[in-house]
Structure 1
Amino acid sequence: MKIYVKNMVCPRCIMAVETILNSLQIDYRNVSLGEIDVNDQLSDSEMMKLSNQLQAIGFEVIDDKKRQLIERIKNYIIQFIHHDKEMLKVNLSDFLAKELDYEYNYLSNLFSEVEGTTIEKYLIVQKIEKVKELIVYDELSLKEIAHQMGYSSVAYLSNQFKKVTGLTPSHFKTIGQQKRIPLDFL
């Protein structure tokens, strides 16, 4: 049985959910971004306890099928941008269609309908947040960041960065950390 969870966006989130599952003695196969794969059907009481404990730390169980699919799209995009450098070389629309077993047009329309923005705009916001992180770390040049994030040039990255944040990357670098946004708030 799969349980879909909103706001599970990082490895620490996974560890927190595993801790809750263990404390409730719920037998599970796997916990990944946005998903819990439990071995058996949970009783209403178990589901309520799990839901309450997840809510206490900022997560939410998603019951609606459309919302579950949207959350899976978001989690794949987060994985795509923040956790796997090799994935940036893959075409996102093909990847999502294959992984979710739906035509990309359906996924795109559903995402826009439910979220009020496009998958592409959500992807750009995630990419810019990752660029912010890399700028704050100050280990790579802007040219290296552009290359790592799949931008064709520093100019293209800078233009997109300014369009999303209202700041140039160099100005952002001077104000740094206070302008970063947690992934679960994007």
Structure 2
Amino acid sequence: MDFYIKNMVCDRCKMVVRQTFEDLGLSPDSVELGEVKLSLEPEPAQVNKIAEKLQSYGFELLDDKKNQIVEKIKNAVRELVHQHPDSLKKITSSVFIAEKVGKDYKYLSGLFSESEGTTIEQFLIEQKIERVKELLAYDELNLSQIADQLYYSSVQHLSTQFKKVTGLTPSSFKENRDKKRKTIDSI
């Protein structure tokens, strides 16, 4: 049986979800971002406990097929930006997402827009800007290196997009001591 879970965005999330299932006496075959596979089907009471426990950690069981696909799209975008930014140079984001989700990109794009009220492209931009904020906060790379790492055509392109999304220039953001960043799952 497969469970689809909203708000799983990192390896720590996978550890928490795995532990949640194990605490309830269920041994997952695999735990990936947004998905848990079990070989045995749990009792309805166990499913309710899983949902309750996951919710206490900020996760949500998804039972609707469309919501499951939307969550897969989000996880693919997060993976592309935060774990495999080098893929941005090799293939288009639409090809990456379609391959990860296993569906036609045109269908995915329409479903995502209908469900989220924004486009996959805008979601990708927001994820890239959050990654830029993270890299600026680390203060290990200059803006040119960050633009190159996230496959922006130029520093100017990155700066323009950054200002459009945040209302600040990258240098203003860097000077701001608060460095207000959003959690990945809140985007």
Partner residue in 2 for 1:13: 13
Deviation at 1:140, TM superposition (A): 0.1
Please, which runs of 5 or more residues in structure 2 have no aligned partner?
none
Please, which runs of 5 or more residues in structure 1 have no aligned partner?
none
Is the contact between residue 86 and residue 149 of structure 2 (CA under 8 Å) also seen in structure 1? no
Is the contact between residue 136 and residue 176 of structure 1 (CA under 8 Å) also seen in structure 2? no
Q: Aligned pair count?
A: 186
Alpha-carbon RMSD across the aligned residues, in angstroms, is 1.1
Matches within 5 A, 1:92-107: 92-107=93-108
Matches within 5 A, 1:50-69: 50-69=50-69
Identity score, percent: 49
CA distance in 1, matches of 2:165, 2:24: 42
Deviation at 1:41, TM superposition (A): 1.6
Deviation at 1:158, TM superposition (A): 0.2
Partner residue in 2 for 1:23: 23
Matches within 5 A, 1:35-184: 35-89=35-89, 90-184=91-185
116-125 vs 100-109, greater mean Cα deviation: 100-109
Deviation at 1:42, TM superposition (A): 1.8
Partner AA of 2:8 in structure 1: M
CA distance in 2, matches of 1:161, 1:176: 17
Find runs of 4+ consecutive structure 1 residues off by over 4 angstroms: none
Is the contact between residue 136 and residue 177 of structure 1 (CA under 8 Å) also seen in structure 2? no
Partner AA of 1:58 in structure 2: G
Partner AA of 2:183 in structure 1: P
Deviation at 1:177, TM superposition (A): 4.6
| TM-score normalized by the length of structure 2 | 0.96
Deviations 1:131-181 (A, max 9, x none): 000000000000000000010100000000000000000000011554100
Deviation at 1:84, TM superposition (A): 2.0
